[in-house]
Amino acid sequence: MAKNQALQLLGGLTPAEFLSGYWHKKPLLIKNAVPGFKGLLSPEELAGLACEDEVQSRIVEEINGQWHASHGPFDDEDFAGLPEKPDPKHRWTLLVQSVNHYLPEASQLLQQFDFIPHARLDDLMVSYAPDGGSVGPHFDSYDVFLLQGQGKRLWRVSEQTDLSLVDGAPLRILKNFDTAQEWLLEAGDMLYLPPHLAHWGIAVSDGKTDCMTYSIGFRAPKNQELATEFLGYMQDKLNQEQTTLAGMYEDADLGLQEHAAEISGSMVAKVSAILRNIQWSDHHVADFLGTYLSEPKPDVVFDANKKTSLSNFNKQLVKHGIVLDLKSQMLFTGNTFYLNGEAAAFTGEAAALLTRLANLRVLSADELGSSLPVDPRLLQQLHLWYLAGFLHIND
């Protein structure tokens, strides 16, 4: 990633300037961030996705000032129940998560945001709304780039510190919202918002082209979640290692206690000493992060590829190259590579190839061809990942 190259996507800032001046700090409006961008799918295609079982989607409605939220999968009847023409008394928005899992163009769009580490990327959410539709004034806990597709959206932002929410609403709506600034975004314009900044995006339609917004969202795990997950990881590690906590509680020095029911100070001290053997290093933390952050979300399923022999896979691999499945998450730390929660360690040429695959999600036949024959252990690993449906032969 060229840190010092000015990007149109960032309004002429370099990634380094954006990171130091704006990221996680303050909003940035970028007119014409993606020239010619009109969106990646039609409202009908988005509605089609929202009807699929494995796709996470929501319809948010504001009916006579009351908020309602329903979750997909939806069917034709659900959509037929929504007003056909904009109705100020009944406004609505359709939101579809992880569109990058279903659309190669969406995954390519995310690649443009490579100046933020993949470990922080969450997904591409796409929304559709007729005139006046919104999810209400709210704040998110995540950084987000809001790229306007077709139509227009009026974004209001507020620097208010009063983040109290409407009681009993099915989604987080701010009780009070004081607009500090507002911008009308058109196709290709983009707004970056840091976490916890109050905002309100209202669809603006000329009656012909309704609003579609592409949210490039970044995840930030809660400290509590990191701790809970890490302790689970350490528990597995200790069970596998068997050596760190070998032995058992011993008390050849047991003295007579006044109260048989009392847990003595001596017992507490002995157990404390045993538990102090549970220690971790940055190596454990790195391994935990690789596994945890590349783990697919619970609703993600991979379709296994058709069984093929190792030698046949090898032939296809060097002829066509490989590409990660759209749902795959690949990260690395040091020489360990993590694909969808599975770890594999490689060095040298194999590690260089996997680094490219992790960064770019694709390895061309030429790249593989330049290091023939493919390292047999790498070939085996790629074959296993191929069979699991984590990666595919390029078409």
Least distance to Co ion, CB of residue 199, Å = 6
Residue 201 interacts with ligand SIN (CB under 6 A): yes or no: yes
Residue 172 interacts with Co ion (CB under 5 A): yes or no: no
Residue 171 interacts with Co ion (CB under 5 A): yes or no: no
Q: Are 138 and 172 in contact (CB under 8 A)?
A: yes
The strand pairing partners of 360, in sequence order, are: none
Q: In whole angstroms, what is the distance from residue 276 CA to residue 106 CA?
A: 48
Least distance to Co ion, CB of residue 226, Å = 23
Least distance to ligand SIN, CB of residue 133, Å = 7
Residue type, 348: G
Q: Using CB under 6 A, which of 17, 45, 87, 140 touches ligand SIN?
A: 140
Q: Which residue has the tokens 């919202």?
A: 177
Q: In whole angstroms, what is the distance from residue 300 CA to residue 200 CA?
A: 30
> Phi and psi of 79, rounded to 5°?
-75, -35
Cα distances (Å, whole numbers) of residue 4 to 9, 19, 350: 14, 11, 29
Using DSSP's 3-state secondary structure scheme, residue 185 falls into strand
Residue 149 interacts with ligand SIN (CB under 6 A): yes or no: no
Residue window 84-123: x/- pattern of binding to ligand SIN, with contact defined by CB under 6 A? ---------x------------------------------
Closer to Co ion by Cβ: residue 23 or 302: 23
Q: In whole angstroms, what is the distance from residue 117 CA to residue 333 CA?
A: 12
Where would I find the H helices in the chain? 15-21, 43-50, 76-80, 104-111, 223-241, 265-275, 282-294, 310-320, 348-360, 365-369, 376-387
Residue 215 interacts with ligand SIN (CB under 6 A): yes or no: yes
Q: Using CB under 6 A, which of 56, 97, 100, 127 touches ligand SIN?
A: 127
Residue window 231-270: x/- pattern of binding to ligand SIN, with contact defined by CB under 6 A? ----------------------------------------
Closer to ligand SIN by Cβ: residue 213 or 314: 213
Closer to ligand SIN by Cβ: residue 215 or 328: 215
Q: Are 340 and 328 in contact (CB under 8 A)?
A: yes
Q: Are 106 and 100 in contact (CB under 8 A)?
A: yes
Least distance to ligand SIN, CB of residue 125, Å = 7
Closer to ligand SIN by Cβ: residue 150 or 213: 213
Residue 229 interacts with Co ion (CB under 5 A): yes or no: no
Residue window 115-144: x/- pattern of binding to Co ion, with contact defined by CB under 5 A? -------------------------x----
Question: 196 in the Ramachandran plot: left (φ > 0), alpha (ψ -120 to 50) or beta?
Answer: left
Binding-site partner at residue 215 among ligand SIN, Co ion, none, CB < 5 to 8 Å by type? ligand SIN
Q: In whole angstroms, what is the distance from residue 49 CA to residue 56 CA?
A: 9
Q: Using CB under 6 A, which of 30, 99, 116, 135 touches ligand SIN?
A: 135
Residues at the interface with ligand SIN (CB under 6 A) = 93, 127, 135, 140, 144, 199, 201, 213, 215
